[in-house]
Amino acid sequence: MSKVKKIFACTSCGATAPKWMGKCPHCGEWNTYVEEVISREVTEEEKRRPWKGGEKKSEPRPIPLPEIQAGNTQRLLAPDGELNRVLGGGIVPGSLVLIGGQPGIGKSTLLLQLALQLDTKVLYVSGEESDEQIKMRADRIGGQAANCYILTETNTTKILNQAQHLEPGLIIIDSIQTLSSPHIESMPGSISQVRECAGELQRFAKESNIPVFLIGHITKDGSIAGPKLLEHIVDAVLQFEGDQNYTYRILRTIKNRFGSTDELGIYEMQAVGLREVPNPSELLLSQKDEDLSGSAVAAT
């Protein structure tokens, strides 16, 4: 039986300490340390073990920079032109993308719609909805349902084993806060669980060259729930926002290792899902009252 180990983790930056501290020495925030329970330490050998077969990987060796064959990475282009532009020209193989937003804003709809649009196999993993609930939403959206595989599971080991067997072109996780690693005893959504699960998904994405999309919950102040380390682990952070009283949604880029952070996508929420708004200027200017003096249109 593994020995139970307790640590204290900072909710802001993810730093750990053996005892509680009022001020985090790493990020400088106050009253951010909470207690976490870990069953055992995961060795580096276990972390580097491939997901299929349990065999050991050979040790990596340093490679001279001129010997690395970079070339032009072939991105996975989605039928969603707004998403392609926000990501810098498509989905990069092996990338880890985090999408955050308020509850009910349309994060799950956006990624399920993406799964139904792609010609490649997509593994859609949900820890929040049942198979039947996802099927009802997919029927409303419509699309190529034959390429979309649904898995309702929260255990990361089981999820990655199924992904290794299916070999999809894209994996979607809804959401990172519902996942749990068998190496950690704390509750799903805790700092330790989010950090460990994100690390496992990152290693799998890089080793298999399969892109992974993560849906993340947000806190009351609008930041993504969990340790700040989560945003450092992923390759891109997207924010899906908008007023639920209106139909328009904005997809903003907060971080992107493979493109610009100045891009954004505009969508309109309809009964059959999200519709792209290719020309937002025409949409916004059409609502301008020309008879009203002293009015102006500005970007936010």
pTM: 0.83
Q: Between 185 and 284, name the one with better pLDDT.
A: 185
* pLDDT for 7: 83
- Specify the range with the lowest mean pLDDT, choosing from 28-32, 67-71, 244-248, 254-258: 67-71
Q: Are 264 and 252 in contact (CB under 8 A)?
A: yes
Structure confidence at residue 29 (pLDDT) = 84
Q: What is the pLDDT of residue 1?
A: 46
Q: Which of 3-7, 159-163, 273-277 is the least confident region?
A: 3-7
Domain count, the chain: 2
The residue among 27, 61, 33, 21 whose CA lies nearest residue 229 is: 27
Which of helix, strand or coil describes residue 294?
Answer: coil
145 burial type by CB count under 10 A (0-12 exposed, 13-18 middle, 19+ buried): middle
CATH value at residue 107: 3.40.50.300
Residues 73-109 have pLDDT tens digits of: 789 999 999 999 999 999 999 999 999 999 889 999 9
Which of 128-132, 206-210, 229-233 bottoms out in mean pLDDT, i.e. has the lowest? 229-233
Same domain, 105 and 252: yes
Nearest one of 130, 164, 167 to 150, comparing CA atoms: 130
Domain extent for 28: 5-41
Residues 162 and 231 in one domain: yes
Assigned domain for 112 exists:
yes
- Judgement on whether residues 26 and 133 belong to the same structural domain of the protein: no
Task: Determine the pLDDT at residue 41.
Answer: 54
> Which residues are registered as beta bridge partners of 123?
149, 171
Give the three-class secondary structure for 105: coil
Say if residue 25 is in the same domain as residue 105. Answer: no
pLDDT of residue 192: 84
What integer pLDDT is reported at residue 143 of this predicted model? 76
CA distances from 295 to 44, 291, 292 (A): 61, 9, 6
Same structural domain for residues 116 and 261? yes
* Residues 239, 162 share a domain: yes
Inside any domain, residue 196: yes
Number of H helices, E strands in the chain: 8, 12
On average, the pLDDT of the chain sits at 85
**pLDDT higher at 22 or 60:** 22
Residue 39: per-residue pLDDT:
57
Query: Which of 218, 264, 243 is CA-nearest to residue 101?
Result: 218
Does residue 48 lie in a domain region? no
Residue ranges of E strands in the chain? 5-10, 16-17, 33-38, 96-101, 122-126, 148-151, 170-174, 212-216, 236-241, 248-256, 264-270, 273-276
* 265 shares a domain with 150: yes
